[in-house]
Amino acid sequence: MEIFDEKDEEVKRLMLRISRKEITLCDSCDTFFDYIPRKISCDGCMKAKARERRQRPEVKERMREYQQRPEVKAKRREYMRGRYHRLKKLREEE
């Protein structure tokens, strides 16, 4: 059973790399990724989790509250005004 032996070797190699903290196994799927301290999920799962978090009502509510803050509103207005003038200038230059 050569295939099994190869598989064994592969697993052994992976285990060795894990013990050396070169790679680690994702906590949500069975993907290996480069070891980074305190990182427990692969990039794909991290993104999926972040997306999920943003969809949660309490997070949405917090975001909404944040955007209602006067200083945040002011900053956004400033940004929009800057953008408006940049676009206007571009149009005038055409």
Residue ranges in contact with Zn ion by CB under 5 A: 26, 28-29, 31, 42, 45
| Residue number, 42 or 61, with CB nearest to Zn ion | 42
Minimum distance, C-beta of residue 58 to Zn ion, in the bound complex (Å): 25
Between residues 23 and 45, which has the closer beta carbon with respect to Zn ion? Answer: 45
Nearer to Zn ion, 29 or 72 (CB): 29
Q: Residue 42: which of 54, 26, 58 has the closest Cα?
A: 26
Considering the complex, what minimum distance in angstroms separates the CB of residue 51 from Zn ion? 13
C-beta of 37: minimal distance to Zn ion in Å? 17
CA 37 to CA 65: how far, in whole Å? 33
Q: How far is CA 76 from CA 36, 37, 55, 68, 73, in A?
A: 35, 36, 23, 11, 5
Question: Taking the CB of residue 42, how many other CB atoms lie within 10 A of it?
Answer: 20
